[in-house]
Amino acid sequence: MSEKDITEKTLEDYNDVFADIVNVLLFDGQPIVKEDELIATRARSQLKLDGSIHEQERDNVKIWQRNKFRIAMIGFENQSAVDNYEPARVLSYDGASYKEQLVEIDSCRKKRIKPPSLVPVITIVINFGKDTWKKHSLYECMDIPDFLRDYVSDYKINVISIKDLTLEQIQKFKSDFGIIANYFYHKYHDEDDIYDNRVMDHPDAVLKLMKALTGDNRFEESLNEFSEQERKGITMCELLDKIEARGEARGEARGEARGKARGEALGIEKGMIIFIEDKLEDNIPDDKIIEKLHKKFDLTTEKAEEYIEKCRNMMASR
């Protein structure tokens, strides 16, 4: 299982987060599922292939139960990239969950005790990626001859892409998942000002997930700069300020040192290019880079923009 799967499961395993995701994505934010109604169950199942036992594991699954009456089994599958075979995978996971229930029912019958009812299995595929998900059913994964189509059962999956949620929907999240959804909403809509002043309930789990989804180690590293007491009241806004400050300080020191040393040998322009590339590597916003180019190299805004675009193209072509 990938690092993304592991860290995502850590956050979603909290009942307040799990219930919140279900309520927003399935019930438009209505508090239908309560966190004390969720019971953890096995996410791992076994199947026999070619005489051998193989294990498969879904990201997270819980039993939704009210007054000792089971309502459904609900599972999450987290994706950071489009998987064209996801309908087949979800079918396999859901089939295993139904099989698990049947095994329990058969066991109760053998013991001559009342078996639990068979309940529906619902899987939500949460897509954190930027690409549009196109295949939502088993039919779309295969080329089925017309003369067989009537005999092949289709299987539809529920895919929710974070980038396609509206700001109104994102604001309905009450748990830490809303902080993550808000971050990616602004990221995918090209909005640099990611203001979120909500206090995190599970900061370690949130930032490990952010590290996994973005590939940016600074999320987890920056958390270490806060004391245990400070972590109890930390917000994403404060953390992003810390990350930006660290990135600018490190990038400026490295860029100035490299730019100055190489600039003397290779000329002012090459030194300036190195300076800009360091800033781009550290994801410093263009307006911040332009401001520094004004001060250090006395460039006009138009000229600074030209150099930034030139450096970005050079980096992309390498």
- Does the predicted model carry a pTM greater than 0.85? no
Phi, psi of 187 (to 5 degrees): -65, -45
Whether 270 and 171 map to the same domain: the answer is no
Residue 92 forms part of a structural domain = yes
| pLDDT mean across residues, the chain | 82
Q: What average pLDDT score do residues 45-58 get?
A: 49
Of 52-66, 196-210, 300-314, which has the strongest mean pLDDT? Answer: 300-314
Which residues, at least 6 apart from 211, have a Cβ–Cβ distance to it below 8 Å? 7, 217, 219, 220
How sure is the predictor about 247, in pLDDT bands with cuts at 50, 70 and 90? very low
Given 159, 175, 193, the domain boundary residue is: 193
Residue 79 forms part of a structural domain = yes
C-alpha span between 152 and 212 (Å, rounded)? 38
Residue 244 has pLDDT above 70, yes or no: no
pLDDT at 285 (0 to 100) = 85
Residue bearing the bigger pLDDT, 186 or 107: 107
Residue 259 has pLDDT above 70, yes or no: no
Residue 301 has pLDDT above 80, yes or no: yes
Residue 169 has pLDDT above 90, yes or no: yes
Residue 164 has pLDDT above 60, yes or no: yes
Given 193, 224, 258, the domain boundary residue is: 193
pLDDT at 124 (0 to 100) = 97
Residue 250 Cα to chain centre, angstroms: 27
Whether 175 and 282 map to the same domain: the answer is no
pLDDT at 5 (0 to 100) = 56
Q: What average pLDDT score do residues 213-238 get?
A: 76
Whether 189 and 248 map to the same domain: the answer is no
Residue 51: domain span = 3-193
Whether 48 and 153 map to the same domain: the answer is yes
Domain count of the fold of the chain = 2
Given 178, 193, 208, the domain boundary residue is: 193
Whether 53 and 184 map to the same domain: the answer is yes
Whether 170 and 286 map to the same domain: the answer is no
Whether 159 and 262 map to the same domain: the answer is no
Residue 203 forms part of a structural domain = no
Whether 43 and 173 map to the same domain: the answer is yes
pLDDT at 142 (0 to 100) = 94
Residue bearing the bigger pLDDT, 26 or 273: 26
Residue 312 has pLDDT above 80, yes or no: yes
Whether 30 and 142 map to the same domain: the answer is yes
Residue 246 has pLDDT above 60, yes or no: no
pLDDT at 236 (0 to 100) = 79
The tokens describing 169, both together, are: 């929907």
Residue bearing the bigger pLDDT, 141 or 6: 141
Residue 217 forms part of a structural domain = no
Q: What average pLDDT score do residues 149-175 get?
A: 95
Residue 154's nearest CA partner among 141, 137, 136 is 137
- Are 88 and 117 in contact, with CB atoms under 8 Å apart? no
Residue 218 forms part of a structural domain = no
Residue 53 forms part of a structural domain = yes
% of the chain residues with pLDDT over 90: 43
In this predicted model, what pLDDT tens digit does every residue of 24-41 receive, in sequence order? Answer: 999 999 999 999 999 988
Residue 229 forms part of a structural domain = no
Whether 153 and 264 map to the same domain: the answer is no
Residue 148, SS3 per DSSP: helix
Whether 127 and 251 map to the same domain: the answer is no
Residue 308 forms part of a structural domain = yes
Whether 162 and 79 map to the same domain: the answer is yes
Residue 258 has pLDDT above 60, yes or no: no
pLDDT at 141 (0 to 100) = 94
How sure is the predictor about 282, in pLDDT bands with cuts at 50, 70 and 90? confident
How sure is the predictor about 291, in pLDDT bands with cuts at 50, 70 and 90? confident
- Are 174 and 15 in contact, with CB atoms under 8 Å apart? no
